[in-house]
């Protein structure tokens, strides 16, 4: 469901705006950036902060 | 702003994940109106997939009651529905599959005098009828009212389907001109039909409706898809608009709707 939620949030922001997705380690951390790229978005940064990763996606 | 409930997000997650459907496509489905004419072999699977897909409003037209001989292929009707109106039985199943869907049941057979009122306001029509006269009537009415529709026909192990974008792509009459003489082609009740063949074709029609509404891919316009389930061969024949088509050409000779059966009978007399 993670990617479904990310897609919903991406649909709610403007073209050119960024979405900051907070992910724990695991499968979504691999699949979300990959799918976002496949679907024409840009993954600008992935950085660890505490237990979570920030995945910055530009629409 | 686009928003879904948590339950809708989960229900439609497999659509939302698709690149060419996505959040926007799902929203289009939820705001769309699809009319299914005939709650039989083709209409049953078509209605169920449209319901599951979250089509906002599904109209369903049929005047018949469920009979035991229907149950071999008309999978929206259950044994306990025998004797109930097909539109009532279909409505119950659609609502059970997806309570988000608004069902507009129409207890009638479409004919020249009522079809325009019935199809009015729908975004897409699925022809799930079982006779040539009605197929031509649906074609002519949809062309005149510029409503895209999916034609479908099945017999024995065979199916055929095409999607008509009125005035843009070939219509049913561009290709088949007029109904065959009465009794020349047997009906499913005379010649039989494999239940699953109805499911295959009705499901293709539902897919066409969903593709048209979401804009995903290309619909079966200017093409006739036929299949024979015995060897399981599929064939796609390219079609072109007939510049002399009686209904969709620049100068149509058919300008008002008629019940074709009448013409056939009159000719015989």
Condensed to tens digits (0 to 9), the pLDDT of residues B85-109 reads 999 999 999 999 999 999 999 999 9
Q: Is the CB of B116 inside 8 Å of chain A's CB atoms? A: no
Q: Domains of chain A (ranges plus CATH)?
A: 2-58 (3.30.110.40)
Task: Say whether pLDDT at B264 is over 50.
Answer: no
Helices (H) and strands (E) in chain B, counts: 11, 8
Catalytic site residues of B?
Answer: 188
Q: Say whether pLDDT at B186 is over 90.
A: no
pLDDT higher than 80, residue B240: yes
Q: How far is CA B171 from the centre of its chain?
A: 14
Q: Which helix (H) or strand (E) holds B61?
A: strand B57-61
User: Other C-beta atoms within 10 Å of B236: how many?
Assistant: 12
Rounded Cα gap, residues A5 and A1, in angstroms: 6
Q: Between chains, do A5 and B9 touch, taking CB under 8 Å as contact? A: yes
Q: How confident is the model at residue B261 (pLDDT cuts 50, 70, 90)?
A: low
The per-residue pLDDT for range B140-169, each reduced to its tens digit, is 999 999 999 999 999 999 999 999 999 999
Question: Over 80: is that where the pLDDT of B78 sits?
Answer: yes
Beta-carbon contacts of B38 under 8 Å, excluding residues fewer than 6 positions away, are: B61, B62, B127, B128, B129, B130
**Domain B13-238 is of which CATH architecture?**
3-Layer(aba) Sandwich (3.40)
**Chain-wide mean pLDDT for chain B?**
94
Cβ B23–A8 below 8 Å, yes or no? yes
For residue B16, the chain A residue with the least C-alpha distance is A4
- Given a cut of 70, whether residue B247 has pLDDT beyond it is yes
pLDDT (0 to 100) of residue B35: 98
Contact with chain A for residue B1, Cβ under 8 A: yes
Delimit the domains of chain B by residue range: 13-238
Query: What is the reported pTM?
Result: 0.93
Give the one of A4, A11, A12 whose C-beta lies nearest to B17's C-beta: A4
Q: Which residues of A touch B16 (CB under 8 A)?
A: 4, 7-8
B214-218: which pairs have CB atoms within 8 A and are 24 or more residues apart?
B214/B20, B214/B21, B214/B25, B214/B26, B214/B28, B214/B29, B215/B20, B215/B25, B215/B28, B216/B18, B216/B20, B216/B21, B216/B25, B217/B20
pLDDT confidence band for B175 (50 / 70 / 90): very high
The answer to whether A9 contacts chain B (CB < 8 Å) is no
Instruction: Encode pLDDT of A10-58 as tens digits.
Output: 999 999 999 999 999 988 899 999 999 998 999 999 999 999 999 999 9
Average pLDDT over residues B183-198: 88
| Complex-level ipTM | 0.87
Whether the per-residue pLDDT at B181 is higher than 90: the answer is no
Distance between CA atoms of B127 and B114, rounded to whole angstroms? 16
């Amino acid at each position: 469901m993670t990617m479904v939620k990310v897609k919903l949030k991406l649909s709610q922001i403007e073209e050119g705006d960024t979405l900051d997705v907070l992910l724990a380690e695991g499968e979504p951390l691999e699949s979300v950036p990959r799918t976002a790229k496949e679907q024409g978005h840009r993954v600008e940064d992935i950085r660890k902060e505490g237990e979570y990763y920030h995945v910055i996606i530009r629409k | 702003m686009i928003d879904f409930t948590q339950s809708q997000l989960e229900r439609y997650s497999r659509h939302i994940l698709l690149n060419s459907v996505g959040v926007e496509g799902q929203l289009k489905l939820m705001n769309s109106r699809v009319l299914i004419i005939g709650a039989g072999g083709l209409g049953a699977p078509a209605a169920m997939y449209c319901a599951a897909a979250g089509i906002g409003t599904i109209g369903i037209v049929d005047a018949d009651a469920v009979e035991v001989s229907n149950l071999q292929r008309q999978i929206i009707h259950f044994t306990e529905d025998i004797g109930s109106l097909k539109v009532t039985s279909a409505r119950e199943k659609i609502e059970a599959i997806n309570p988000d869907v608004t069902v507009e049941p129409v207890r009638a057979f479409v004919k020249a005098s009522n079809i325009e009122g019935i199809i009015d306001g729908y975004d897409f029509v699925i022809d799930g009828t079982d006779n040539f006269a009605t197929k031509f009537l649906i074609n002519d009415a949809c062309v005149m009212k510029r409503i895209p529709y999916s034609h479908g026909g099945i017999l024995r192990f065979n199916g055929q389907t095409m999607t008509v974008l009125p005035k843009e792509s070939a219509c049913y009459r561009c290709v088949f001109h007029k109904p065959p003489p009465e009794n020349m082609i047997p009906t499913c009740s005379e010649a039989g039909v494999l239940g699953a063949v109805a499911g295959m074709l009705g499901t293709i029609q539902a897919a066409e409706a969903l593709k048209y509404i979401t804009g995903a891919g290309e619909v079966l316009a200017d093409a006739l898809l036929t299949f024979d389930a015995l060897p399981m061969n599929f064939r796609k024949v390219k079609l072109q608009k007939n510049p002399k088509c009686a209904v969709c050409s620049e100068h149509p000779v058919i300008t008002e709707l008629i019940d074709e059966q009448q013409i056939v009978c009159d000719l015989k007399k």
